[in-house]
Amino acid sequence: MRDSRIDSIFNCKSLALFGSVSEGKLGRALIERLIDGGFDMKNVYVINPKGAGHLDSKGYKSVSELADKKVDLALIASPAETVPQVLEECGEAGINSAVIISSGFSEAGNNELEKKLVEAAQKYSIRFIGPNCAGVANTKNSLLATIEAKPSMGGISLISQSGAVGGLIMHLSTENGLGICKFASYGNGADLNETSLLEYLIDDESTDVITLYVENIKDGRRFMEVLRKATAVKPVIIIKSGRTSSGQRAAMSHTGSMAGADMVYDAAISACGGIRAITVDEMFDYAKIFAAKKQMAGKKVAIITNSGGPGVMTADMCENAGLTVCAPTDSLKSKLQEFLPSYAGLANPIDLTVGATPEGYAKALSACLEEYDAAIVMYVGTPHLQALPVANELAKVARNSDKCICALFEIGSDIEEAKQVLKDSGIVLFPSGERAANALSKLAEYEQHKANRREINLCPDVESMEISCHCGRTSLLETQAMRLLDSVGISIPKNFFAANNHDVVKACNEIGYPVCMKVLSSDIIHKSDVGGVILNIKNDFECTEAFNRLSKLQGFIGVIVYPMLDKGFEVMMGFVRDAQFGPVMMFGMGGIYTEVLKDVALGIAPLNYEAALELIKSTKCYEILKGARGGKKADIDALCDILVKLSMLPFMYENIQEADINPVFAYEDGAVVADARILLSTGDKIEKEWC
């Protein structure tokens, strides 16, 4: 259900502007932008201590003077310290929607003032955008309640944490052939933020495509829930910046050091069908292609060109982006031969050469669209060629097709006219074939997501417990970790704990020689680095000798004894708790390769079987697990089973911080955990029960 208070922000018919409108003041800039946007300025009421208005907009000393008027929105640009009081007055006057441009709140360290603001809003049930934001716009309502530039009108809405990025995108929208519908810069996001605004746009009929610029997301799981709902009905393109510097968490384990925050965002966004853009140019290109509302059911792209070089470069980029530039079938080839000259290239790219005619272009496009999922048409003219006749013929084909057609059209005295004809026919223009290829790949990705939407469970229904104890350690001993894994049904090897000479001999005999013995110590992180792992112990004598050796190691608590395991293919699994997205699973190549090759994939926990399989498939080591080069196949089902079970642990035990299961040995039949490290939240204690 749409919140009418958010509606009132974007679709307001009248607004009260709080702040000075003197020359050089923020209020004056806002008046100018509102005029530029075409808003009816008689419905803008200016409120400041002097009661000074500007041009058509009358001034008042207090909002109480507006009792006889209907005011939909408060646009606040008054000094920070006055804003909570302004909100109170708005509440009293029955205005329950606000946009707060004023800065000087939490971003400047004034958390108290921002808290007051939120309290005032809550008291009067006011929904607001800001503070410290660049404002909002709605081109369909001629509303430009922002300090930023006026954009072209269209179907793309933009939510931006950064005012400047939002302003830049709106400013560049015209030259990039984009039309903007709604814009909101939410600044500190003290009330409305990326998630609530995204949710609002889901049902907004004038928004065809949602674009989002974020630097951080407050509640990752809630965001995912809303994002998933949104992508079911319209594409959502997301720039998440701070990609390289933010992923600096304590490197306590493989999982911890590798699950960089940016990879987590990637996993979360792609699980929900969001399209991630890295640069503003990419965002433009993706938004443009989605805004055309054309289809692309598969990945096959036809390239039709009048020049070899640009065609080859476009084909390169298509293949790089995961699209298929396959040759036409024999029947299509015959068809093309009917009307194309003998010197035309009939492989894909279809090269009509410099002798290309308007009819040749149109017929080739028409024929290719029957077989391919999309087409890129390239026209590189010279000053003595005419582009318009080509554009006219192509436009006829485009108007009769649902499939996505992109074009590069450059050079010629009539080129701008030709471009307009193409654009009007639904063809999407790009400044290069490469950019068209890249954008098409995102269209294909989104269509594929929609065709294969998977259920995701962001909030598993399990009772959460704490593991607590009095030993002062913050990681479970390996014996404890193994018991915990066993308790959720994960396959572990037989093992015994022993703390003295008598018990260890008994344990070894219970397991049966040869055995493996590892030290348990709260001081040792990497056991094998300090000689804490002894393999292939063959008899009681060697057992005693090994135990004596291990008992001299620092922080010795006891040993764990295992049977010698067959070496399967080594993979690693684990989870961390991300500050924004909660438990995140990792899967990858195990052993010494984990950190060097970084062949790992992340998925938001919990995982079901399909999600676990997808995680495994997205690593390179999947090729090895499938049985590369005549090697043995690994039991991938068994690995999925462990991943699914492991992914529930962080929900069952709220103080498990990280788990690092490395290696898991994968066999042709089954898989078994060969080592496990489980870390608790700092400060938590481990109960004797687990010792």
* Backbone torsions φ then ψ of 102, nearest 5 degrees: -45, 140
Q: Of the two residues 70 and 626, which places its CB atom closer to a copy of itself in the complex?
A: 626
Cβ atoms within 10 Å of 524's Cβ, excluding its own: 18
CB of 504 to a copy of itself, least distance (A): 26
Of 219 and 410, nearer to a copy of itself (C-beta) is 410
In this structure, the number of other CB atoms found within 10 A of the CB of residue 76 comes to 27
> Which residues have CB under 8 Å from 266's CB, separation 6+?
276, 602
d(CA 550, CA 516): 12
Q: Who contacts 325 (Cβ-Cβ below 8 Å, separation ≥6)?
A: 301, 303, 315, 318, 319, 348, 349
Least separation in angstroms between residue 553's CB and a copy of itself is 16
Cβ of residue 413: shortest distance to a copy of itself, in angstroms?
Answer: 10
C-beta of 231 vs 662, nearer to a copy of itself: 662
Q: Which is nearer to a copy of itself, 110 or 681 (CB)?
A: 110
Neighbour tally for 656: CB within 10 Å: 23
Q: What distance in Å separates the CA atoms of residue 81 and residue 62, rounded to the nearest whole number?
A: 17
3-state secondary structure of 464: coil
Distance CA 579, CA 576 (A): 9
∠ CA 296-299-304, nearest 5°, is 85
Tokens 């654009």 found at: 423
Query: Strands 44-47, 15-18: parallel, antiparallel or unpaired by DSSP?
Result: parallel
For residue 604 the two structure tokens come to 């938001």
Closer CB to a copy of itself, 465 or 597, in the complex: 597
Residues 6 or more apart from 175 whose CB is under 8 A from it?
A: none
In the complex with a copy of itself, the residue whose CB is nearer, 287 or 317, is 317
**Nearer to a copy of itself among residue 67 and residue 343 (C-beta):** 343
Compare residues 56 and 319 and give the one whose CB is closer to a copy of itself.
319
Minimal distance in Å, beta carbon 355 to a copy of itself?
Answer: 10
Sort residue 204 into left (φ over 0), alpha (ψ -120 to 50) or beta: beta
Query: Closest distance between a copy of itself and the C-beta of residue 273, in Å?
Result: 23
Q: Three-class SS of residue 256?
A: helix
Amino acid, single-letter form, for residue 332: L
What SS3 class is residue 336?
A: helix
Greatest Cα pair distance, the chain, in angstroms, is 99
- Give the C-alpha separation, 568 to 566, whole Å: 6
Pairing relationship of beta strands 44-47 and 59-60 according to DSSP bridges: parallel
Minimum distance between the CB of residue 640 and a copy of itself, rounded to whole angstroms? 20
Cβ closest to a copy of itself, residue 326 vs residue 488: 326
Phi, psi (5° rounding) for residue 439?
-65, -40
We find the least distance from the C-beta atom of residue 659 to a copy of itself, in angstroms, to be: 19
Among 113, 99, 276, 97, residue whose Cα is nearest residue 186? 99
Residue 10 CB, nearest distance to a copy of itself (Å)?
A: 20
- C-alpha to C-alpha distance for 191 and 119, rounded to whole angstroms: 10
Min separation Cβ 70 and a copy of itself, Å: 29
Complex with a copy of itself: residue 116 or 240, whichever CB lies closer = 240
Q: Toward a copy of itself, which CB reaches closer, 272 or 415?
A: 415
